[in-house]
């Protein structure tokens, strides 16, 4: 077929085709020798002309560039362009003086210099092809396309850049130069279409735009970033901006991609489209903030991890606009502050964030402290530092976010405080798990009851664990007839009504329900109410409404470091400085399974605190048969000593509420726990 097509191509065009092909092939094979302005103009003359055409040559300071371009003196125009940048003062915040040269090294950066990249806790060596280029589509040792995507964000050379300025060792700057020249030449031509390839996907494009800006200006006066590489960067950045302008996504993707578009627009105002890019960025980011942040300050994906991703990019965008003297409306700053308020109020006593949906259990302490400084919030400092600095909050210590449906309960702000997270909100706009009514619990500085985590998105780990991570089976919820929850509504249309939550000095209460279970016939509704008695214990009440007999499995997943033992119907878990006891209340008879690291017949008992990290943990499964609608109640009792003397009994129950007596060595309590009406919640302390 190719020979037939070539037969009809005119001889002159055919010769030109083979000439250009040979030039391209020659440039590809000798890309390491392309270092000077003359080299890159000879190897890629059309790319350099296209680059010059991207600039507004009427821009002050580009007069010599314009003259060279008009006379088609390509080398002269490109040299004048680089001289303009060296003499200019745009992006002054990124410009740096070259460090004093030394032979000092940084071990982590030296690993990167061997083309060994560590991506989401997985180490892989990128292979090099016959043409001398790295394989930018390499998926890592686990054949994970996520590994390929993230390695193309170029965060690894951002770390090498840091090492260069820390040590002054030329090898780090030289590696960056070769790395970028390799990538840009190999990635040509820019396809100008929306893509999910390793090289041209929106998130990777956005990250590179930000990293390259720091490298271009940071190494502008270094003799180790060659003129050819500088020009190739200037030729590729408009392609990156075009992609983020025309093919960006929504939700947290939009915040990353649009902040990158604004980064290029403001750091390189000489491009023809920069003003239009910035105007579009402002409009898009304003609308996105309105769409993806609830009035209570929680990002609509309802994943603490991606809440922070959006927050950081919203904040980056504000910094960009501030430098460009483009003021943003008051609501933008107010929303940023409310987003910080959420993570400050949700933070665990150990400084780590909620682990929910597709997230990692990372530390939020530095982020909260930075926000507290920016917005003059000494109360956030107090929460994040366990009262070591700042001012004790006038509200709290528990908080409810009505649009997100998140109840964060605490006994106080000290490092050993009780902490729990109860979710009665919508499914979320992205990165969702089927885990409505899940409860996580920590005490004495340690996690006890945990979410399974996210494991991985693609590759071998994801193939095995992704369905489990997203399923109800990986969470502290109820399975009905062995079935988990179906997908729920993605967004809240209104906040949770007041009659579903209550926070008082002595207790917290919240309740929610779920009725869509996969492949389940008839009526099956799970209502869960959680009542936390401050400083003492949690009561969990599960009301199952059904029109036929059901098998119910109530799941409790323990942190892997917990030593878990069952004692008759109760289960006790120990972490270094304390215990948590789970005990059913009432006369239901349960069979108890303790499952750890199970693979067959189905996955159960696995925990992932970070992407690509996972280990077995114990899942305690309470099973019982219900013949009709019924109520199950549980006490979760934290204690310093094993085998606490606690007794809980049912005083009365009906279709609306349950009344319980709880007695321990510390005191006696009577609780009225409604299934769905917080106004009826009562606590009497004897």
Residues 200, 274 share a domain: no
CB 134 within 8 A of CB 127: yes
Question: Using CA atoms in the order 190, 194, 196, 200, what is the torsion angle rounded to 10 degrees?
Answer: 20
Q: What is the DSSP-derived secondary structure letter of residue 404?
A: T
Closest by CA position to 233, among listed 258, 220, 210, 216 = 216
Q: HEC string of 412-471?
A: CCCCCCCEEEEECCCCCCCCCCCCCCCEEEEECCEEEECCCECCCCCHHHHHHHHHHHHC
Strands (E) across 534-617 are located at 537-546, 550-557, 563-567, 570-575, 578-585, 591-596, 606-610, 613-616
Q: Is residue 680 part of a domain?
A: no
Number of domains making up the chain? 5
The pair phi, psi for residue 516, each rounded to 5°, is: -105, 95
Name the region of 91 (left: φ>0; alpha: ψ -120 to 50; beta: rest): left
Residue 685 within any structural domain of the chain: no
* pLDDT value of residue 29: 53
Rounded CA-CA distance 435/473 in Å is 9
- Do 82 and 98 share a structural domain? no
Q: What is d(CA 259, CA 495) in angstroms, rounded to the nearest whole number?
A: 29
Q: What is the pLDDT of residues 494-543, one digit of tens each?
A: 999 999 999 999 999 999 999 999 999 999 999 999 999 999 999 999 99
Scored b (16 or more CB within 10 A) or e, 596-623 reads: ebeeeeebbbbbbbbbbbbeebbbbbbe
Core vs surface per residue 539-561: b (16+ CB within 10 A) or e: bbbbbbbbeeebebbbbbbbbbe
**CA distance linking residue 681 with residue 659, whole number of Å:** 10
Angle between helices 274-292 and 251-267 (to 10 degrees): 150
Give the length of the chain.
Answer: 686
Q: Is residue 550 part of a domain?
A: yes
Token representation of residue 86: 């060296």
Task: Examine the fold and report which residue of 228, 247, 266 is the final residue of a domain before the chain moves on.
Answer: 247
Q: Are residues 243 and 254 in the same domain?
A: no
DSSP, res 58: T
User: Cα–Cα distance between 373 and 391 in angstroms, integer?
Assistant: 13
Distance (Å, rounded) from C-alpha 373 to C-alpha 541? 41
Residues 154 and 83 in one domain: no
Tell me whether residue 646 is in a domain: no
Q: Are residues 254 and 215 in the same domain?
A: no
Residue 125 belongs to a domain: yes
Can you tell me the distance from the alpha carbon of 636 to that of 442, in angstroms, rounded to the nearest whole number? Answer: 11
On whether both 620 and 496 belong to a single domain, the answer is yes
Q: Are residues 58 and 113 in the same domain?
A: no
**Residues whose CB is less than 8 angstroms from the CB of residue 288 and which lie 6 or more positions away in sequence, other chains included:** 250, 254, 255, 258
State how far Cα 577 lies from the chain centre.
Answer: 31
Are 104 and 234 found together in one domain? yes
200 secondary structure, DSSP code: S
- The C-alpha angle 385, 389, 392, rounded to 5 degrees, equals 90
Residue at 421 is within a domain: yes
Give which of 242, 264, 263, 235 is closest to 77, Cα–Cα: 235
We report the CATH number of the domain holding residue 133 as: 1.50.10.100
Reference 205, options 261, 281, 145, 288; nearest CA is 261
My answer on whether 224 and 282 are in the same domain is no
Structure tokens at 532: 């936390």
Q: Which of 365, 390, 415 is the last residue of a domain?
A: 390
> Which positions ≥6 away from 193 have C-beta within 8 Å?
200, 247
| C-alpha radius of gyration, the chain, whole number | 30
Question: Is 272 in the same domain as 385?
Answer: yes
Is residue 490 domain-shared with residue 382, that is, in the same domain? Answer: no
Of 508, 569, 540, residue with least CA distance to 634: 540
End-to-end CA distance of the chain: 91
The ranges of the chain with pLDDT < 70 are 1-29
Domain boundary among the residues 247, 274, 300 is at 247
Determine phi and psi for 567, rounding to 5 degrees: -130, 95
Q: The domain containing residue 470 runs over which residues? A: 396-639
Cβ pair 590, 528 in contact under 8 A = no
Q: Which two tokens stand for residue 169?
A: 């060792």
Residue 686 lies inside a defined structural domain of this protein:
no
- The reported pLDDT for the residue numbered 642 is 86
| Residues 497, 502, 508, 513, CA torsion sign | negative
CA gap 487, 439 in Å, rounded: 18
In a domain, 370, yes or no: yes
Phi and psi (nearest 5°) for 143? 55, 50
Lookup: tokens for 282: 């402002």
Position of tokens 């899942």?
A: 619
CB atoms inside a 10 Å sphere around CB 205: 26
Residues 418 and 551 in one domain: yes
């Amino acid at each position: 077929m190719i020979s037939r097509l070539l037969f009809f191509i005119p001889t002159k065009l055919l010769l030109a085709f083979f000439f250009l092909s040979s030039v391209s092939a020659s440039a590809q094979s000798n890309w390491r020798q392309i270092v000077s302005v003359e080299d890159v103009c000879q190897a890629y003359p059309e790319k350099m002309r296209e680059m010059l055409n991207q600039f507004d040559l009427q821009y002050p300071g580009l007069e010599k560039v314009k003259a060279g371009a008009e006379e088609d003196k390509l080398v002269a125009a490109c040299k004048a362009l680089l001289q303009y940048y060296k003499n200019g003062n745009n992006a002054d915040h990124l410009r740096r003086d070259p460090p004093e040269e030394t032979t000092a090294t940084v071990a982590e950066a030296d690993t990167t210099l061997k083309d060994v990249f560590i991506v989401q806790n997985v180490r892989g060596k990128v292979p090099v092809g016959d043409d001398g280029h790295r394989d930018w589509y390499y998926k890592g040792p686990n054949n994970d396309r996520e590994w390929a995507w993230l390695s193309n964000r170029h965060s690894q050379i951002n770390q090498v850049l840091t090492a260069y300025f820390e040590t002054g060792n030329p090898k780090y700057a030289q590696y960056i130069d070769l790395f970028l020249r390799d990538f840009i030449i190999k990635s040509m031509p820019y396809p100008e279409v929306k893509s999910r390839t390793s090289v041209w996907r929106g998130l990777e494009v956005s990250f590179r735009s930000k990293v390259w800006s720091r490298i271009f200006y940071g190494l502008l006066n270094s003799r180790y970033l060659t003129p050819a590489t500088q020009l190739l960067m200037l030729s590729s950045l408009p392609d990156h901006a075009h992609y983020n302008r025309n093919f960006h996504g929504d939700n947290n993707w939009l915040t990353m991609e649009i902040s990158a578009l604004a980064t290029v627009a403001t750091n390189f105002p000489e491009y023809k489209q920069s003003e239009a890019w910035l105007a579009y960025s402002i409009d898009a980011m304003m609308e996105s903030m309105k769409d993806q942040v609830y009035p209570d300050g929680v990002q609509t994906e309802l994943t603490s991890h991606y809440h922070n991703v959006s927050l950081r990019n919203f904040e980056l965008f504000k910094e960009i606009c501030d430098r460009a003297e483009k003021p943003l409306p008051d609501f933008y700053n107010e929303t940023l502050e409310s987003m910080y308020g959420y993570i400050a109020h949700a933070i665990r006593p150990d400084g780590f964030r909620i682990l929910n949906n597709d997230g990692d259990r990372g530390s939020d302490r530095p982020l909260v402290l930075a926000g507290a400084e920016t917005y003059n919030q000494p109360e956030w400092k107090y929460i994040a530092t366990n009262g070591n600095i700042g001012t004790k909050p006038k509200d709290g210590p528990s908080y409810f976010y009505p649009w997100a449906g998140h109840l964060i309960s605490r006994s106080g702000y000290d490092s050993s405080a009780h902490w729990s997270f109860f979710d009665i909100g919508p499914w979320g706009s992205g990165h969702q798990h089927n885990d409505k009514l899940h409860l996580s619990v920590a005490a004495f500085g340690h996690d006890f009851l945990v979410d399974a985590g996210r494991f991985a998105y693609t590759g071998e780990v994801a193939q095995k664990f992704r369905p489990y991570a997203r399923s109800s089976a990986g969470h502290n919820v109820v399975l009905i007839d062995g079935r988990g929850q179906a997908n729920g509504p993605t967004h809240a249309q209104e906040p949770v009504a007041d009659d579903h939550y209550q926070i008082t000095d002595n207790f917290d209460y919240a309740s929610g329900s779920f009725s869509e279970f996969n492949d389940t016939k008839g009526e099956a509704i799970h209502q869960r109410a959680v009542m936390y008695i401050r400083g003492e214990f949690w009561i969990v009440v599960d009301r199952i409404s059904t029109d036929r007999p059901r098998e119910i499995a109530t799941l409790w997943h323990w942190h892997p470091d917990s030593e878990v033992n069952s004692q008759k119907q109760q289960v006790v878990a120990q972490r270094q400085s304390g215990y948590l006891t789970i005990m059913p209340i009432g006369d239901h008879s349960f069979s108890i399974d303790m499952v750890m690291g199970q693979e067959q017949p189905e996955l159960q008992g696995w925990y992932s605190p970070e992407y690509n990290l996972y280990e077995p943990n114990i899942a305690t499964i309470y099973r019982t048969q219900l013949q009709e609608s019924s109520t199950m109640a549980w006490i979760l009792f934290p204690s310093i000593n094993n085998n606490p003397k606690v007794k809980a009994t049912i005083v009365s129950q009906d279709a609306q509420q349950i009344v319980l007596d709880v007695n321990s060595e510390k005191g006696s309590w009577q609780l009225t726990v409604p299934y769905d009406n917080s106004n009826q919640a009562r606590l009497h302390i004897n």
